[in-house]
Amino acid sequence: MESCDPVDTSMVEKSKLDEDPQGKAVNPTHYCGMVGTLMYLTSSRPDLVYAVCMCARYQARPTEKHLHAVKRTFRYLRGTINQGLWYSKDSAIALTAFADADHAGCLDTR
């Protein structure tokens, strides 16, 4: 990953991952390890949450399509290495979040 080109977004815009039953399967252990690493980062990088959660849905049978999505997220990290949240133990920080859920947009379960 040191020689990869960084990208501006963590996922391809207007692209939604789906189950991809005809896709070529990849090693699930390797895929789960990559997704697990990204899940760890989501506590300090909220910009990764959507992309990582989309990739985490397909840990049972990942395909090359899913692996490319995970690799794109790592390429995004390469270009935004100095961004993130810092939680100081002595601060009284209050985090407020909002969600705009689109349950009908899921190609697998709508």
Give per-residue pLDDT as tens, 17-47.
888 899 999 999 999 999 999 999 998 898 9
Instruction: Pick the range with the lowest mean pLDDT from 6-15, 69-78, 90-99.
Output: 90-99
* Average pLDDT of the residues of the chain: 87
The full set of domain ranges for the chain reads: 28-105
Residue 85 confidence class, pLDDT cut points 50, 70, 90: confident
Mean pLDDT along residues 52-70: 94
Residue 110 confidence class, pLDDT cut points 50, 70, 90: low
- Cα 36 from chain centre: 10
